[in-house]
Structure 1
């Protein structure tokens, strides 16, 4: 029987051991669409980015203007009809994310609010990641939104794109993730977001589509391992890789525009029940 790395916080060891017991052992070379950077025990948040860049011998770039989550939306391999219908404002946001300010509000399902409180106390505050407010907000919170790219000094190519988002008033990190595009075993092109955690990561793979009004719809509602969805990955005490596909947890994000205004609604569900909703207002920087 495999065991999680023992010298760490009990709650981290326990959740990793659960992934080992319920998940599957994988060979990292066979799953390029799934593998992404792992976190460590010594650093998190902004410190993790600096340490990761040093370990990978990459250059941190925070200065280049008009950095986007995706260099070109054509990389999503949408159909010709979908791409032509896609809102121009939404496309520009994804290709030039650093040029935009974000404001968000949140609404919890009261039956799941205790779950959010426990996650914050056991994990989020300590690792400075996924600090989701546990109080509903109508007026909204402003986010510091920064795109940070890690560049290969030899080829000058971007190897990793981090989207770092923290609440301005408290400086708590809501999301610090690595974004890119992956191709599933089915051949479907998806957006991939990797959130480093101690000795592993949480990875969300979202299937893109375009609605009737040009909105971009990103959906993680897969049914089996290899589909779009939510995955935990980790290394055990012997350095072996394990992964667990969490079918019951789903993420749906709809980004639309009206004139120059961009808005987004993100809905997280568990067992088909809404856990919480984020509403974003996205404005181009002056």
Structure 2
């Protein structure tokens, strides 16, 4: 796999070519954790980000959540009190929940997904989406580490998910509540660190009358909720909005079991659907 490492700087140059140069101090909403090495080292990127915050990392913290208080999402059109109690508990105490998963790829995109998984995902240990149903048949293990600032306040959560069947890492993500400059309320900001860069997704929350929660990154212009690729060359940063759109629907089924439907699209075409069953550990 080391022989494929030359692909990483090539892809960064591609994103530099198609992206725009940004001042990361002005567009601080795109300032996020990254990796210093090709293979994403979870402990390393979390330690580096904690250092940026002059804080510390609480590794694999029991009962830790991706969002310390769902009230942080409050704003026009969204009252966190309307979200089902189980969903709020999942986000505030994520490590206290276990996860089963199912994946269904579009036949059109499966070959490309398999190629990307082999060339990048499994090699760099990041965004290695499961390609086959049996890959996730035994569920996923997950750990949450809390990154605190100098005052001890949680600013970011590192959520690492691995396949229980073989221990392979699927996602290494940084989760926090973020606010876009032109938005009237907060979004869920997810960052997947990569070498000298990151994939970032801003997800706009929406609550249904039944207490279910939608998190959506829909089409739009630069600066809105959506997916972004950010790369760094020395002190220069380049960013582009990518046409990847995701929806997460968290809801309680008829037996009050917490479930999530996750759909990932490229432009308007569905690439993969994932379903999660979430139960208190």
Are 1:179 and 1:193, in contact at CA under 8 Å, matched by a contact in 2? Answer: yes
Partner residue in 1 for 2:29? 33
Q: Is 1:135 matched with 2:117?
A: no
TM-score calculated relative to the size of structure 1 = 0.88
Q: Tell me which of 206, 213, 216 is aligned to 1:209.
A: 206
Report if the CA contact (8 A) 1:256-1:262 is conserved. yes
What CA RMSD, in Å, does the superposition of the two structures yield over aligned residues?
Answer: 2.2
Gaps of 5+ in 2: none
SS of residue paired to 1:164: strand
In the alignment, what sits opposite 2:65? Answer: 68
**Distance in 2 between the 1:284 and 1:240 partners?**
44
Q: Tell me, yes or no, if the aligned pair for 1:45 and 1:129 is still in contact at 8 Å.
A: no
- Report the equivalent of 2:85: 88
Matched-pair contact (CA < 8 Å) for 1:208–1:217: yes
Mapped partners of 1:192, 1:100: distance in 2: 21
Equivalent of 2:109, from 108, 112, 127? Answer: 112
Q: 1:173 to 1:136 in 2, by over 3 A?
A: same
Where do 5+ consecutive residues of structure 1 fail to align? 1-7
User: Which residue number corresponds to residue 181 of structure 2?
Assistant: 185
Distance change in 2, residues 1:105/1:121 (3 Å)? same
Secondary structure of 1:150's aligned partner? strand
Contact 2:58–2:145, Cα closer than 8 Å, also in 1: yes
Secondary structure of 2:29's counterpart equals coil
| Secondary structure in structure 2 of the residue aligned to 1:101 | strand
Aligned residues, how many?
Answer: 275
Give the CA deviation at 1:10: 2.8
Is contact 1:82–1:209 with CA below 8 Å preserved after alignment?
no
Q: 2:252 aligns with which of 251, 257, 280?
A: 257
Mapping 1:1-286, distance limit 5 Å: 9-41=5-37, 43-49=39-45, 52=48, 56=52, 58-62=55-59, 64-79=61-76, 82-137=79-134, 140-152=137-149, 154-187=150-183, 188-236=185-233, 238-246=234-242, 248-258=243-253, 260-285=256-281
